[in-house]
Structure 1
Amino acid sequence: MTTALDLDATRRLLDGPPPPTVPGQLAVDTEPPRCEHGNPRCGAVPVRPYPCGYRCDQHQPARTHPYRTAP
């Protein structure tokens, strides 16, 4: 069982400021995903994830395009 002294020590520890850095964790700047279609790559942003990779609206897979009527 925990005692009242253990609870007080834990409360004091939790009420204190956080450490300046957390050991073992690294903040990394990441770039947003870009369109993976084409050679060279399109690179457009924003994109949506598909099973074939990230694609912009212009390079959606064929089955996701809306139906079009012939002119």
Structure 2
Amino acid sequence: MTRTTEASLAAMRRRLDEPPPEPVPGQLAVEMATAEDKPPKVCGYGNPRCGAIPARFYPCGWKCDKHQPARTTRRPTP
């Protein structure tokens, strides 16, 4: 190893031993509002509503697995 390489490695080791800088408010992503602040999505089928959780979004709204929209592909007739 050359002398400049050894010096740069020593400088990097010193840099690793330094404490991290103080965080700036609003800089970290963990300070953002989380999805837990919103109520969970429920199935919107029927009157009164089904209300099952979990529900997936379809073009016709939020539906559970039991009330998911029918398949739109053509089926061959027997």
- The superposition leaves residues 10-52 of structure 1 with CA deviations (integer Å, 9 ceiling, x where unpaired) of xxxx921343xx5xx9847111110011111111001111000
Unaligned runs of 5+ in 2: 1-19
Letter in 2 for 1:62: A
- 2:43 maps to 1:35: yes
For the aligned residue pairs, the C-alpha RMSD in angstroms reads 2.8
TM-score by length of 2: 0.48
Q: Distance in 2 between matches of 1:63 and 1:34?
A: 21
Give the total of aligned pairs: 48
Q: Does 1:62 align with 2:70?
A: yes
The equivalent of 1:10 in structure 2 is: none
Identity of aligned residues (%): 56
DSSP-derived class of the 1:63 partner: coil
Gaps of 5+ in 1: 1-13
Distance in structure 1 (CA, Å) of the matches to 2:32 and 2:48: 32
1:1-71 alignment runs, 5 A limit: 15-19=21-25, 22=26, 27=33, 29-63=37-71
Could you state the TM-score of these two structures normalised by the residue count of structure 1?
0.52
The structure having more radius of gyration, on CA atoms, is 2
